[in-house]
A and B are shown apart, each in its own frame.
Chain A
Amino acid sequence: MYEDFLVRTDSLENVVENGETTGFKFAVRNANYRGIFLSLVTSFYVEMDGEEFPIDDIRFAVNGAAPRSMEELKKAVFEHWDMQDEAYLYVKKPGGLEKGTHRLGYMPGTIDGYGYKATDAEWVDNPPQPGKGGGKTYHVCNFTLELN
Chain B
Amino acid sequence: MEKKIKRGVSIYSYSGEYGRTMDLEDCFKDMHDMGATGIEILANSHIDSYPVLSDEYLSKWKSLCETYQVEPAEYGHWIDTRLYKNRNMTGEEARRVLINDFQIANALGFHVLRTKMGVINGELAPFPEWKEVILSVLDEAAKYDVIMCPEIHLPSLLQDQFVLDYVDFINMTGTKNFGLNIDLSVFQNRFNVEGVVSYNQDTRHNEPEDIIPLLPYVKCIHAKFNRMDDDFNELTIPYPEIIRVLMDNGYEGYLISEYEGINKNVPGYVSHELRKQHVMMKRILGY
Contacts and interface: CB of A to CB of B under 8 A. Distances in A.
Contacts of B121: 115
B42 A34 contact: yes
A29 B11 CA distance: 19
B83 A37 contact: yes
Contacts of A36: 44, 80
Contacts of B93: 77
Interface string B251-266: 0000000000000110
Contact of B16 (A1, A77, A78, A114): A1
Interface stretch (B112-120, B185-193, B227-235, B273-281): B112-120
B45 A34 contact: yes
Contacts, number: 75
A121 B80 CA distance: 12
Interface residues of A, number: 27
Given A82-B50, A84-B19, A84-B48, A115 B120 contact: yes
- Which of A5, A33, A114, A116 has most B Cβ within 10 Å? A114
B82 A111 contact: yes
Contacts of A114: 78, 80, 116-119
Contacts of B264: 1
B85 interface: yes
A36 to B, nearest CB: 7
A120 B44 contact: no
A128 to B, nearest CB: 12
A1 B265 contact: yes
A35 interface: yes
A78 B51 contact: yes
Contact of B82 (A33, A35, A80, A124): A124
B120 A83 contact: no
Given A33-B45, A83-B19, A115-B119, A74 B85 contact: yes
Contacts of A77: 83-84, 93
Interface string A104-148: 000000011011100011011100000000000000000000000
A99 B116 CA distance: 46
21 contacts: A1-B16, A34-B42, A36-B44, A36-B80, A37-B80, A39-B84, A40-B80, A40-B82, A74-B84, A77-B83, A78-B51, A80-B44, A80-B50, A82-B50, A83-B46, A84-B48, A114-B118, A115-B121, A120-B82, A123-B82, A124-B87
Given A40-B82, A80-B50, A114-B119, 18 more contacts: A33-B15, A34-B45, A36-B80, A37-B83, A39-B85, A40-B80, A77-B84, A77-B93, A80-B44, A80-B51, A83-B45, A84-B48, A114-B117, A116-B119, A116-B122, A121-B82, A124-B84, A124-B87
Interface of B: 12, 15-16, 18-20, 42, 44-46, 48, 50-51, 78, 80, 82-88, 93, 116-122, 124, 264-265
